[in-house]
Structure 1
Amino acid sequence: MNLPSANPASSTLGTELRAARHRRKLTQKALASRARVDVATVQSLEGGRGTLAPLLLVLSVLEHRFLEQPTNTGVGSWLVSHRKRLRISQRVLSERAGISKPAIIAVEHGRGHLKTLTACMSAMGLPIALRADEDEYQSGSANSDFAPRREFVQGDCITVMRGIEARSVNLIVTSPPYNLGKRYHSYRDKLPLVDYRAFAQAWLTEAVRLLADDGSLWLNVGNTRDPDGGTLPLEYLYWPLIKNLGLTLVQTIVWHHHTGLPQVAKFTQLTERWLWCTKRAKGFVWNLDAVRVPPKTTGKRTNPYGANPSDLWSFTSLVHNAKARPDHPCPQPVEMVERIVNACSRPGGVVLDPFGGSGTTAVAAVRNGRGFVSIEVSPRYHRTGIDRLRTWESSQDAAVAAAAA
């Protein structure tokens, strides 16, 4: 099939971005701050220059997408699907757009330069125009405020979540108390098993109510003690609750954390589980290209942008590292939570952690252009999370200042 004639768009992407910013009554500085990019980047984008990654951040803040881009579809996926509907190859598109094939591949993976993006759109007859995403936000998706929400809340998670609007978060990442008698949680840990199950039911019900329809819930669980003296894996306790709330279990991830307390009566435990659940069986947010890892082997079938991580994750725990560990007994590695944030949310979205602890989820969200709500019952660890994020932001400011010097 032949390509449609190149579309002589009446406006450029830069003018579209500028018009969208003016409709939101934002200065370039305010837009840069909310998108967590520098002013020079916003200026470049409005001049039709730059790369796709900051463009996506800016579009998310402006609540805009391309005119014919479907809701819940990334730019790269949209371009691929449109090219396939035209029944043309990347090579043919490359020839028509005057862009190299590797550049085409990059844009279809959500990377690359704006000039490549606009050349591809023009060559495929797609208008270089933006539309407001009002329909998506009115339907209950989680970005009703165009500034990413950033909030630490000190209090009981069930009480706090009851005061939050339904379907107002894009992703939930959390690790609840394991009911082992560890007093740092301040949730009357340890409870009789029937009471712990009721507690799990209560917080999970509220969490699911807050989750956007295309969102995911990632639940980190280990083991607790069975009343008969044995071991009860918490995924067995949570599974019926997850099922009854209408969630779909997409996958179980094994976290190998390398360190653990030596055991004598049984094997030393070096793993925990992540349960990845969604409200929809299909159509949930999934950004594979954002979390690819270096391939173990190379060949003709090797993806040039990396391999899909397996369901066995190897991240070193900070529990036994007193120097690296924040003021909390069981913090998770930020890099591990970042993988979840990047894979299952979009820039500008909101990530919720009902058991905020030392603020790991908050830091992972902000580092990757997302907002967050971090709820923590302990005043001490609530303050730890705030201080931890401020420390990271101060280090970023210092790095920017040093680079500008």
Structure 2
Amino acid sequence: MNLLHGDCLEILKTLDAGSQDLVVTSPPYNLGINYNSFKDTSPRKEYLKWCRSWVAEVRRVLADDGSFFLNVGAAPANPLMPHQLILELADGEEPLFILQNTFHWVKSISIETRSGERISAGHFKPINSKRFVNDCHEYVFHLTKNGEVPLDRRAAGVPYQDKSNIARWGHTGGADLRCRGNTWFIPYDTIMSRDKERPHPATFPIALVEQCVKLHGKGSATRLLDPFLGIGTSAIAAHRQRITAFTGIELDELYLRTARERLAEEVARFAGELPLG
């Protein structure tokens, strides 16, 4: 695994064209998040121009049959940002990518079962407002060069709720596994100390990256890239999916050091040198 320190725009330029199969990343959202070494408050046009610059490099290094999963969140008072960003990247006269799928990463949800039981699961950041409701989801945009990249839908699938559908629908092939669809409920792991366990203001769960790896369908042979590594979530996901061809880029030295420490702990735990949990 290759964990690199520096500006992703500059380091991406050093990577070979077509050298990556899969890119999964979550850039700064430009919503005033308090990062350690990055000012997250650029004027909107300037931010979109910057995104277009690094995404152009992502397109260059991505294989023709590659997938780019872009996680972007919003703020209740600033809901247009994800939509403006995807329009900048995948619409207009010179689109960089085609938007092939849009996934909704649900962090917290409340449902009522068929028996009438109400269940609430997941984690969210509550807001105190008379205008807005709590924001419990983010977007994961699936971008490709041609809009025709095949996916292994059932590799990232779920068992059927109604087992009679297995025999009723011929496309199942008798397997109790269906496409999960574009709504992913993936909660954060519960932590005891944010400063020690998640010293970064905007992370995504390991399982979210693993879901993208499974869906893309190349398994351990995947060449995976994360231009905004943060504290190493995607590197840990790569290790759990037996991916060795992983490249992560991080601007902040503290975050990168934490990423290397977390990955070393993950490798040691896998080797049986540390206890699980």
Identify which of 305, 312, 316 aligns with 2:183: 312
Q: Which amino acid aligns with 2:34?
A: R
Aligned-pair CA distance for 1:321: 6.1
The answer to whether residue 261 in structure 2 is matched with residue 387 in structure 1 is: yes
Deviation, 1:235, is: 2.7
Distance 2:236 2:176 in 1: 26
Alpha-carbon displacement from aligned partner over 1:277-326 (angstroms, at most 9, x marks no partner): 111222x2412232121211111236424121021111113598636943
1:286 corresponds to which of 140, 143, 151: 151
Q: CA deviation at 1:224?
A: 5.4
Equivalents in 2 of 1:182, 1:400: separation in Å? 34
What is the distance in 2 between the residues matched to 1:325 and 1:400? 16
Candidates 250, 264, 267, aligned match of 2:100:
250
* Cα gap change, 1:363 to 1:248, in 2 (>3 Å): same
1:200 equivalent to 2:71? Answer: no
Q: Distance in 1 between matches of 2:128 and 2:34?
A: 22
Q: 1:169 to 1:285 in 2, by over 3 A?
A: farther
Normalising to structure 2: TM-score of the pair? 0.82
Please report the RMSD computed on the Cα atoms of aligned residues, expressed in angstroms.
Answer: 2.4
C-alpha contact (below 8 Å) 2:48/2:88 kept by paired residues? no
Q: Which residue of 2 aligns with 1:173?
A: 24
The alignment covers a number of residue pairs equal to 248
Percent identity at matched positions?
29
Instruction: Specify the SS of the correspondent of 1:153.
Output: strand
Structure 1 residues not aligned, in runs of 5+: 1-149
Match of 1:268 among 131, 134, 138: 134
- Structure having the larger proportion of residues in helix: 1
1:83-113 CA deviation, whole Å, 9 max, x = no partner? xxxxxxxxxxxxxxxxxxxxxxxxxxxxxxx
Give the match's secondary structure for 1:277.
strand
Distance of 1:207 and 1:285 partners within structure 2: 19
Deviations 1:327-378 (A, max 9, x none): 2222211112101011114122211111111111111112112221110100
Of the three residues 181, 187, 191, the one matched with 2:38 is 187
Tell me if structure 2 keeps the 8 A contact 1:215–1:285.
no
* Code of the aligned partner of 2:133: F
Q: Which moved more, 1:163-172 or 1:216-225?
A: 216-225
Taking CA–CA contacts closer than 8 Å with sequence separation of 6 or more, which of the two structures ends up with the larger relative contact order? 2
Q: Is residue 367 of structure 1 aligned with residue 240 of structure 2?
A: yes
Alpha-carbon distance in structure 2 between the residues aligned to 1:398 and 1:313: 31
Runs of 5+ consecutive residues of structure 2 not aligned to the other structure: 109-123
Structure in which a larger fraction of residues adopt strand: 2
TM-score, structure 1 as length reference:
0.57
Local SS of the residue matching 1:398: coil
| Separation in structure 2 between the aligned mates of residue 248 and residue 348 of structure 1, nearest angstrom | 24
Change (3 A) 1:233 1:191: closer
- Once residues 191 and 72 of structure 2 are traced to their aligned partners in structure 1, the CA distance between those partners, rounded to angstroms, is 19
Equivalent-residue separation in structure 1 for 2:135 and 2:223 (angstroms)? 33
Correspondences of 1:2-401 after superposition (within 5 Å): 150-184=1-35, 186-223=37-74, 230-243=78-91, 244-258=94-108, 259-264=124-129, 265-282=131-148, 284-299=149-164, 300-301=167-168, 303=172, 304-317=175-188, 322=193, 325-346=197-218, 347-370=220-243, 371-398=245-272
Question: In the aligned structure 1, how far is the partner of 2:73 from the partner of 2:198?
Answer: 21
Kindly state the Cα deviation for residue 193 of structure 1 after the two structures are TM-superposed.
1.2
Distance of 2:163 and 2:248 partners within structure 1: 41
Cα offset for 1:223?
Answer: 1.7
Separation in structure 1 between the aligned mates of residue 246 and residue 88 of structure 2, nearest angstrom: 28
